[in-house]
Amino acid sequence: MERTAAKHWFIAGTVQGVGFRYFVQRKATALGLSGWVRNLDDGRVEVYATGSAAQLSDLAAALHAGPRMAEVRNVEEREEAVEKLSGFRMR
Strand partners, 88: 35
Distance CA 71, CA 79 (A): 24
Catalytic residue among 39, 44, 68, 78: 39
21 has catalytic annotation = yes
What's the one-letter identity of residue 72?
V
Q: What is the dihedral of CA 32, 59, 23, 69, to 10 degrees?
A: -170
Q: Which of 21, 26, 38, 68 is catalytic?
A: 21
Instruction: Measure CA of the first residue to CA of the last residue in the chain; give whole Å.
Output: 29
Active site residue 74: no
What residues are labeled active site?
Answer: 21, 39
